[in-house]
Structure 1
Amino acid sequence: MKLYFSPGACSLSPHIVLHELGLPFEAVQVDLKSKRLKDGADFWKINPKGYVPTLQLDDGAILTEGPAIVQYLADQKPTAGLAPANGTFARYRLQEWLNFISTELHKQFSPLFNPASTDAVKQAQQERLAERFREIVAAMGAAPYLLGDQFTVADAYLYTVLTWAGIVGVDLAPYPALQAFMKRVEARPAVKATLAAERAAKKN
């Protein structure tokens, strides 16, 4: 398999999942501005959407969209427990979280990265995110992860999105539970390995 990624982008989520699962894969870095690979290849020809993450299977099939990719990966090694079994209510709960993170967090961060966004727009986005953060904290309660005691692909996605907070000036200090969640995830060996790999890629 090949994971097309860009350091710090939402492709961090499946990158973490691949390390958690211990599946063999090749990480292929994409320059999101030029839409080129390191060897100069045109990324548009691989994924016409032009963004990461993109997963290429050994048979050449292409899978896009982070929530779909991480579930596909988890199902390749179900014994790892990164996703509940298909057809169970717990699996639908996982999908509920993946959809929530995608629509209510991931896309809410986008205007904060846009230099054309006005201060009013950014303030509105900050308020929307604050509301969503409170909802996550309330839903998690005392549990270490979104689905309880088990780390899942939804946690990898939530962690990925929350890493952007400091970049765009979103303060997580009012949410100690989220800060604790971030530290808990960062302590995982697979996450440490992924972050190290992305830092190294960014330097090259």
Structure 2
Amino acid sequence: MSQPKILVLGPPGAGKGTQSSNIVEAYDVDHITTGDALRANKDMETEYGTPRSFMEAGELVPDPVVNEIVKAAIEDADGFVLDGYPRNLSQAEYLDDITDLDLVALLDVDREELVDRLTGRRVCDDCGANFHVDFAPPEEEGVCDECGGELIQRDDDTEETVKERLNVFEENTQPVIDYYEDEGELVRVDGEQSPDEVWDDLQDAIEDAI
């Protein structure tokens, strides 16, 4: 059969990137993220202009442009895992019109756990390697295992910023979750387990769906 078409939903810090990579490796599908799709097609002409024209002006790329970019990426893929799209209800309705998904999976993680995960992240200022003060600490506190560089907390990983990011997610994307739940398409996966346990449950859901 054809390769699966999977949508992974979840708030920042839920592990979408990790699990999407697992899906890509296991099922040989494309990993489609809005950011990557926009960067790869920033000069694509749409009736609203190119993504580059909005990005260079520091503006949000409007939904119709994002939709066309994602549609092009989906049409080029034999199978895919979508991560970071749709971000709102109108994008979800558009996605329904252009493709049939095999699985919509939500990585379910409590808000308090998300704050702990995101505020504990540390990034090497030199090589960009990622660590976590609790889950993946460096051998020496504040020092990168890879290159010896200084580990820093990014501005968007402070508690105030993290909570605002989660508020934005809940405001924009909760209607998407409700939409798929109402359609009976949503499969919830406990995202508070270890990454391997999450993958076991997610893979079971994929196998059931296909």
TM-score (norm 2): 0.28
Where relative contact order (Cα < 8 A, 6+ residues apart) is larger, the structure is 2
Instruction: Answer 1 or 2: which has greater strand percent.
Output: 2
TM-score (norm 1): 0.29
Greater C-alpha Rg = 2
